[in-house]
Chains A and B, each alone.
Chain A
Amino acid sequence: MSDNSRHITSFKVKNFKRFESFEMNDLGQFNLIVGDNNVGKTSLLEMLLVDELNVIATITNYRQALLNHKVFANPKFREFSYFRNLETSINEILFSSTTVDRKFYEVRFNFDKVNLMFKIFGIQNREYDYFYNDALFSIEEFSVPLIPFSKGYDSDLVNFYSRFIQSLPKEKELLFEYMRIFIPDLIYIEPSAPKSDESIFLIVTQKSKNSTLPLGFYGEGTVKLFRILLEIIANKGKRLMIDEVDTGIHYSRFSSFWNVILLAAVRHNVQLFMTTHNEECIKYFVDVLSEPKMKSYQKDARSISLVELPDKSVKAYTYPFGHLEANILMGNDVRGGAR
């Protein structure tokens, strides 16, 4: 972690899913993660859900990650518990529930500032001091800083908007300004219930249209940009993980997409970790950072290539911006992958 923010410059983990031992070094504020299928890009984003300063936030984050994977049958996680291991000084967290295949599983991890363990076990002998129960805290208090693959419009956006944006006029206007790259004549986006007895939707008002439309009616790219921007604003000073950042974005929009995402991240001091398989997306990332007004951020940009080695371990190779740019200019494949 650097001195003046919560951005990390290196990360080390042991026994997290497929990674027995894994480290990333020389991280920047904008990190593109590339690599072959099943090399562990999404797992890497999940590793970063650990919150060094907040155990409860960490629990919430991992619970949501497990829900994203649909590992557990019970979406409410009634059997979810947090224990502290009496035999070690390290915080240890235990999730337990019945999985979709009706087997009982426990997911356990312990962490300190640099090491994280994450393993699925069968039923264990409980050598733990009961510390925390699911019923004692509310997931509503936290925004989980991970945008999973293909997360489109959902009711969570309304809650999110209400909690983090609605009461902040300056942030709200900034959000609208950012969104105008996809909806140029946007006036505002506000939660609204079309009829008093119906659910609340986010409604878009445009200058050129007499009627309003729900945000969900707009394309996947527009919803995705909105979600990313909300998360950036909500995670001010922290880090945000975005799986397959390019999904839903037309190539002709990549330039403005990157422009607004990177500038928003700078303004709100958010460290980004984003996976992609898309070569054009990476090229536009480099192009945008080569524009005169963006050049000063090149020092903060990295591409991190995950590669499986012959012993099946995975290693991360960090490319500083100049190296990524040189590879793009020479037409080398910058998406990682097997050789």
Chain B
Amino acid sequence: MKLRATIFVEGKSDKFFLKQFLKSNFGLEVPDNQIIQVDGKDKLPKFKEWFVQGSDQNLKNLIVFDADKDFETRGQSLIDICDNLQVESEIFLFPNNNSVGNLEVLLEKIINPDKAFIFDCFQDYLQCLQKQSEIKLNLPAQKTKIHAYLDLLFSKTMVEERNYQDSELWNLDHEYLNPLRAFIKNHIS
């Protein structure tokens, strides 16, 4: 089986998660040049050659980005960019192609439930931080939360070193991943 698509992601955290998701769910070792990092939607035009190359090789173009604060707006802006570039692509927005959020929201949903207390404690920490207003903080600290989860459990925290296939930490079979699974499955043959 092969992935018949090029996947465009924002950054390396998305890339390393997807590589392991594809390995775990479909047994696919996807080469690096089939998952392209583009930084953000505004940078997409600089990666147009990959879209064209993929289409020429009968590969579909898949954009997997964060929905962030407005699911509809993000989706539409990506459609507009692809129209301007005259490239065809299908879009999936983290966390589940239906809600606002990002990869970290998805990751929080697929943690080992036995370790959920760490996130509960983190809520208290966040509430404490939110009480002060003098200094601007990067809240709700979603990346910090994932980092803390891994660090507290003696696991590697660097994005490219994370092991999402460690069932003590993550559940890559979680039903929350069903929309992503279905999206990818269409492009495997």
Q: Give the interface of A toward B (CB within 8 A).
A: 305, 307, 309-310, 315, 317-319, 322-323, 326-327, 329-333, 337, 339
Contacts and interface: CB of A to CB of B under 8 A. Distances in A.
Given A322-B46, A326-B46, A305 B53 contact: yes
Q: Taking each of B12, B53, B59, which has the highest tally of chain A beta carbons within 10 Å of its own beta carbon?
A: B53
Contacts of B43: 326
Interface string B34-70: 1011110001001111101110111100000000000
Contact of B33 (A318, A319, A333): A333
B24 to A, nearest CB: 21
A250 B57 CA distance: 35
Nearest to A327: B47
A309 B56 contact: yes
Contacts of A323: 46-49
Nearest to B39: A330
B47 A310 contact: no
Given A332-B33, A333-B33, A339 B57 contact: yes
A14 to B, nearest CB: 19
B49 A339 contact: no
A23 to B, nearest CB: 14
Which of B38, B48, B49 is the most central at the interface, judged by chain A CB atoms within 10 Å of its CB? B49
How many chain B residues sit at the interface, stated as a range, is 20 to 34
A326 B53 contact: no
A309 B57 contact: yes
Interface of B: 6, 11-12, 31-34, 36-39, 43, 46-50, 52-54, 56-59
Contacts of B38: 326, 330
B57 to A, nearest CB: 6
A318 B11 CA distance: 24
15 contacts: A305-B53, A307-B53, A307-B56, A310-B58, A315-B56, A317-B52, A322-B46, A323-B46, A323-B48, A326-B43, A327-B47, A329-B39, A331-B12, A331-B37, A339-B59
Given A305-B49, A323-B49, A326-B43, A333 B56 contact: no
Nearest to A318: B49
Contacts of B53: 305, 307, 317
Contacts of B56: 307, 309, 315
Contacts of B11: 330
Nearest to B10: A330
A317 B57 contact: no
B37 A330 contact: yes
A309 B55 CA distance: 10
A85 to B, nearest CB: 35
A339 B37 contact: no
Given A331-B37, A339-B57, 11 more contacts: A309-B56, A310-B58, A317-B49, A317-B52, A323-B46, A326-B43, A326-B46, A329-B39, A330-B39, A332-B32, A332-B33
Given A310-B58, A339-B6, A333 B32 contact: yes
A332 B57 CA distance: 18
B49 A326 contact: no
A339 B34 contact: yes
A310 B38 CA distance: 26
B182 to A, nearest CB: 23
The 7 nearest A-B residue pairs measured at CB? A326-B46, A330-B37, A333-B33, A317-B49, A323-B46, A333-B32, A339-B34
B23 to A, nearest CB: 17
A315 to B, nearest CB: 6
A332 B32 CA distance: 7
A305 B54 CA distance: 13
Contacts of A326: 38-39, 43, 46-47
A147 B56 CA distance: 32
A315 B49 CA distance: 12
Contacts of B46: 322-323, 326-327
A332 B50 CA distance: 10
Contacts of A330: 11, 36-39
A41 B88 CA distance: 29
Given A305-B53, A310-B57, A315-B56, A339 B47 contact: no
A329 to B, nearest CB: 8
